[in-house]
Structure 1
Amino acid sequence: MTPSTARPHTRHRTRPAAGLAAAALAVVMVGSGCAALTGDTGADELQEFLSVLERGDLAGAAALTTDPAAAEEALTASVAGMGYPALSADTPDGDRRPDRDPVAVEFTWDLGGGADDGAEGDDDEATPSPTDTGSEAGPRSVTTSGQAGTVKVDDQWKVQWEPTILDSRLVAGGYLEYAELMDYDTDVLDRTGAPLMQWTPVTAVTLAPDAAASADAVAQLVSSAAPTITGQSIRDGLAEAGDQPYQVVGLRPSDIDPIREQLAAVPGVTLPERGDLIRTDRELSSPALNGLPNAWLEALQASGGWSADIINPDAEPIELGGAPAGEVDDLTSTLQISMQQAAQSAVDGSGQAASIVAIQPSTGGILAVAQNSAADQQGPVSLEGRFPPGSTFKVVTTGAALESGVVGPEEIVPCPAQITVSGRTIPNDDDFALGDVPLETAFARSCNTSQAVISDRLEPEAMKNTAAQLGLGVGFTVPGLNTYTGSVPVTERGPGRVEAAIGQGEVLASPFGMAVMTASLANNGRMILPELISGMPAVANDSPEPLPQNVVDTLRRYMVQTVQTGTATAANSVPGLGGKTGTAEVGNGPSHGWFVGSTGDIAVAALIEGADSSGPAVSMAANFLTSAGQPAPLAAG
């Protein structure tokens, strides 16, 4: 793979022109003695011009010249083109007589330090010369040499405006430009090596701020490629953009070419070209894809180069400095396109807001993240939602009880229709009663009353600590992904602990968090580190010890029993599946339905909001697992 030499996308680094007071003072002092010796020559006005320019006041600097309008336009073009860098100026030969002969002016453009930008000690680095290619991560700085003269206009000294003030090689209409050079040929692949996202030329369909009357015409033309865009959505976007142009949509060549001429004829429409990292399959949708462009960009920037050039009209660029981009290997995502499609199909089959998250226990690799349009209206709830997990949390409560020894794996526990524990009366669903039964049976049949009894024996931190051992309530920084696992409180003995024991009260979790919990249990009780991009595992804010193996084995046996004879028998056709159902009360509305489970090397969490039963979530998860199969091997990077 060869790094791209073209620049389909220029990304400027914006640096404030702050902290330059000392440099400005130094510039003012240079040549002041000469001004005193030569009399009134405009030297002080020239130094004021340079000082104001250093501060970033382009209009103020332009006002000190003989042609403020032309000067401001030209200065803005170059300073913006260089990414608004920190700028310092000097007159290395002194002021001499700028009214007689132009004096030399030297500008240093501090463009940032690449990966080391902002690191302590940068002030000690030598400034590269204009031809110094430097290192990819080192300081980025170039120097330009121009000349400036002064003239008296109506008894006031002015700087004689010429483009050559910034650089002697600049001509009218020319400007300076800084660009980051990156290996745009780098693709994002799925775990099988199939292209997932690629850099593609894109045409941005853009509408002027005052062109709301064209909204319906634009919507009609782009409807085949972007059916969700309407005239009203465009008008809403224009209103939000205020006095700025509004980008309606970015279209790939196959979409824009048939309608380009018609769009160009619509009043207020412009069609600028740019590049973008886009999905190879436009139908593929997932919150897990949203952060991949940022991760991709960071990888490219880490090996990125740069260039600074003089751009004159009808001429080849003149190089000021730069460094070539390094080659970047394709990024391999842990997602599997076929699994993502199966997950999306499963959630789309629900008439209510639905989410599925699937994770590979052995690696922590995220296999699929899907939510339907009803869930989309709430944001990325599959990854960051905050829901009571209901009885799926009994995996934690039972694990805490087994780990602390307050119950044994074969213990007989009561399962009455209702029970009052620590002042809180807990019923079973539909008030079913089993009498005294083995803990395994109470778990498989989801006896709330049994959980209330065993939770009353726990220490206040027990459920929180056991949840953390399985990653629930732990914070993860996952490259390319924003996530929330959940929150489990420390509960003193009383109603709060009883409620928490069955996943209610203050216990909250996202589908992602419940998938992490289930995958960690399937990983022999050792907390996984979720991963979206191969080789970039999450960083966790906690490092808990794994669950004891005997507790892991008991919980997994209970979960298999849940699928075979308990509340999840609708999924018993999935080979080797163990799981746990949950029905979580939400205020006065219908309850949420949950299912978590694992088989082979795949763990899944499924949520249907307002389903009023776990049954639909069980069926949705079973449909997904049947279609998805097992994860494919991860393609070599």
Structure 2
Amino acid sequence: MRRRRLVGLLVALGAVGGAGAFAFVASSGVHGSAMATADAYLAAWQRSDVTSMEGLVADPPADFADRHLAFSEQFKVNALTLRPGGLRVTGEETAELPFSGTRELTGMGPWAFTGTLRLAVRNGAWKVLWGPETLHPALRDGGVLSLEETEVSGVELVTRSGAALPRDSAAEPYLDRLKERLDETNTGWTIKATAWGAAPRPLVVFQPPPARQVHVTLSRPVQAAAARALDGVPEQAAIVAVKASTGEILAVADRLDAAGAFERLFPPGSTFKVVTAAGLLKAGMTASSPISCPPSHAGIVNSGDQTATTLAGAFAVSCNTTFVQQALDRLGAARLEQAARDWGFDGRNLATGVGGRCGRLQPGADRSVLALNSIGQGTVEASPLCMAALAAAVDSGTWRTPRLVTAKAARSLDETPPAEVTLDQRIVQDLRSMMRQVVSEGTAKDAGLAADVAGKTGTAEVPGGRPHAWFVGYQGDLAFCVFVRNGGSGAKVAVPIAARFLGAL
């Protein structure tokens, strides 16, 4: 077969001193040295002088030149740099020279590799013991290298300020989903190695620069604080933070399964008392309305010794029987269900840009179900995203769809407009004072939260498992939800996580 010269390949061979080489004297009957042969081989390789390379090889295969030509053509090699290491003597007539190299691939970039030249004395001269692994170590023992075209995202997602997103931020499932939805791709390349009897594995991936940047609403410092606040939490957990005045999602650190912070619904426990309290306030009560906190009511039993004389006080200590009694006596199922709808619990899909669901409450007039629903059990379910939106609504006075992109982009990607609903400001004012009291003298007291934090704890019972731990709240214009699946007490588990999160901002 006619041999063709390879495309011009460049090499940078460092000068190697004679100390690394070893030679036999003329009386040994061996011509030259191992180092001299290795140098000559690498120099010929860099010149694409396959004829000279072949002359330095002991028993070269018949297709020696064609293999080199095919390799360069397959991987679009246009330049080569080789760097010899130190010669190792392995026997009286054997040696090895480690070397490193970089192939420049047209349209892709550099491909670094390492290898070893094996040398031995054959017929009185030092020769290279060539094998396919000399071209690349992955070709040893029948291994195969392949170059595959791949599709990669054509966009680069950056934070609201244009900064790079933090690594290991636990927001990756949502960012990957957004890239898929934007449906902009470029062509990339992957070099894969397949060992005999094994599955292919990627060696190197070449990704072209993205066509454009897309700003998401995430804040780099808020996202980083959320992700680090979950470090060390053994259970599945999530933090969602929202800019209350706009609905922009500032952080989503999700260590649940299947993007659970946006999609999965869980019983919210006592955090739902925000909604029940809103219903009671709409029905004519105020934060200072006198109430009782009986040890039990309608089959619901309080845990521990709880006392409260006002609605705000019962909310602060999370007295279950107060809310059960008031829901049964003052609200009824229809009014509680209306309050739930007013505050986002209508099963709606959320136009975040990557989808999501809010909360829901199954309609029904059964008193035992109403009792459970009033304290966030029974048929009540919510996503952590929905509960962050609830806290944001108290903070700003307007219920807004949380979103990860601009409102225009969210409308396009989710095919539904983000919602904004102005709430009754008298109710909102009372809820704010009640949530501040939770932190100042209630279930979130002495947990390391700043004085300007307002919130509500929740411990949601789960059949056959530990309770879910919740804490929702806000500080300034930042509203948040902390959720720990099967974590236990909201006050003991979720609140300290929130304190770490807010303390890092």
- Offset from partner CA, 1:394-425 (integer Å, 9 cap, x none): 000010111122x33311111022222xxxx1
> Secondary structure of the equivalent of 2:498?
helix
CA distance in 2, matches of 1:288, 1:473: 23
Q: Please give the TM-score of this superposition, normalised by the length of structure 2.
A: 0.61
Alignment partner, residue 27 of structure 2? none
Taking a change above 3 Å as real, the CA distance of residues 361 and 592 of structure 1, as seen in their structure-2 partners, is same
1:554 aligns with 2:430: yes
1:476 aligns with 2:362: no
1:384 aligns with 2:270: no
Q: How many residues align?
A: 338
Taking a change above 3 Å as real, the CA distance of residues 330 and 543 of structure 1, as seen in their structure-2 partners, is closer
Alignment partner, residue 426 of structure 1? 300
Offset of 1:261 from its aligned partner?
4.3
Contact 1:474–1:540 (8 Å) recurs in 2: no
Offset of 1:282 from its aligned partner?
4.9
CA distance in 1, matches of 2:389, 2:430: 19
CA distance in 2, matches of 1:292, 1:438: 46
Once the two structures are superposed, the pairs formed by residues 122-161 of structure 1 within 5 Å of their partners are none
Alignment partner, residue 486 of structure 1? 359
- Offset from partner CA, 1:560-580 (integer Å, 9 cap, x none): 000111001144532411000
The farther-off stretch of 554-563 and 382-391 is 382-391
CA distance in 1, matches of 2:113, 2:251: 34
1:497 aligns with 2:339: no
> Secondary structure of the equivalent of 1:345?
helix
- Offset from partner CA, 1:54-100 (integer Å, 9 cap, x none): xxxxxxxxxxxxxxxxxxxxxxxxxxxxxxxxxxxxxxxxxxxxxxx
CA distance in 2, matches of 1:613, 1:567: 10
Offset of 1:352 from its aligned partner?
1.1
Q: Which amino acid aligns with 1:414?
A: S
Alignment partner, residue 410 of structure 1? 288
Offset of 1:389 from its aligned partner?
0.3
> Secondary structure of the equivalent of 2:306?
coil
Contact 1:530–1:537 (8 Å) recurs in 2: no
Alignment partner, residue 510 of structure 1? 383
Alignment partner, residue 13 of structure 1? none
Alignment partner, residue 450 of structure 1? 322
Offset of 1:582 from its aligned partner?
0.3
Q: Larger Cα Rg: Structure 1 or Structure 2?
A: 2
CA distance in 2, matches of 1:623, 1:464: 35
Offset of 1:345 from its aligned partner?
1.1
- Offset from partner CA, 1:504-558 (integer Å, 9 cap, x none): 011011111111111122121x220222112434566896853310000000100
1:332 is matched with which residue: 212, 215, 218? 215
Contact 2:332–2:370 (8 Å) recurs in 1: no
Q: Please give the TM-score of this superposition, normalised by the length of structure 1.
A: 0.49
1:285 aligns with 2:170: yes
Contact 2:388–2:472 (8 Å) recurs in 1: yes
Taking a change above 3 Å as real, the CA distance of residues 466 and 537 of structure 1, as seen in their structure-2 partners, is farther
1:578 aligns with 2:454: yes
RMSD, aligned CA: 2.9
Offset of 1:263 from its aligned partner?
4.7
1:272 aligns with 2:272: no
Alignment partner, residue 474 of structure 2? 598
Contact 2:350–2:401 (8 Å) recurs in 1: no
- Offset from partner CA, 1:227-274 (integer Å, 9 cap, x none): xxxxxxxxxxxxxxxxxxxxxxxxx979x7458944566735534244
Contact 2:290–2:309 (8 Å) recurs in 1: yes
Contact 2:352–2:402 (8 Å) recurs in 1: no
> Secondary structure of the equivalent of 1:429?
coil
1:523 aligns with 2:402: no
Q: Specify every segment of 5 or more residues in structure 2 that has no aligned partner in the other structure, as ranges.
A: 1-107, 115-134, 158-163, 187-209
Offset of 1:288 from its aligned partner?
2.4
CA distance in 1, matches of 2:113, 2:269: 52
- Offset from partner CA, 1:129-162 (integer Å, 9 cap, x none): xxxxxxxxxxxxxxxxxxxxxxxxxxxxxxxxxx
Contact 2:352–2:418 (8 Å) recurs in 1: no
> Secondary structure of the equivalent of 1:413?
coil
1:346 aligns with 2:346: no
CA distance in 1, matches of 2:215, 2:433: 35
CA distance in 2, matches of 1:284, 1:264: 38
1:619 aligns with 2:489: no
Offset of 1:464 from its aligned partner?
2.7
Contact 2:458–2:469 (8 Å) recurs in 1: yes
Taking a change above 3 Å as real, the CA distance of residues 468 and 261 of structure 1, as seen in their structure-2 partners, is farther
CA distance in 2, matches of 1:501, 1:438: 17
CA distance in 2, matches of 1:268, 1:451: 69
Q: Which amino acid aligns with 1:566?
A: G
> Secondary structure of the equivalent of 1:484?
coil
> Secondary structure of the equivalent of 2:356?
coil
Offset of 1:599 from its aligned partner?
1.0
CA distance in 2, matches of 1:601, 1:537: 21
Contact 1:484–1:513 (8 Å) recurs in 2: yes
Taking a change above 3 Å as real, the CA distance of residues 263 and 382 of structure 1, as seen in their structure-2 partners, is farther
Contact 2:295–2:301 (8 Å) recurs in 1: yes
Contact 2:469–2:485 (8 Å) recurs in 1: yes
Contact 1:400–1:462 (8 Å) recurs in 2: yes
CA distance in 2, matches of 1:263, 1:478: 48
Offset of 1:296 from its aligned partner?
3.1
Offset of 1:426 from its aligned partner?
0.7
CA distance in 1, matches of 2:252, 2:362: 27
Contact 2:392–2:474 (8 Å) recurs in 1: yes
CA distance in 2, matches of 1:470, 1:253: 54
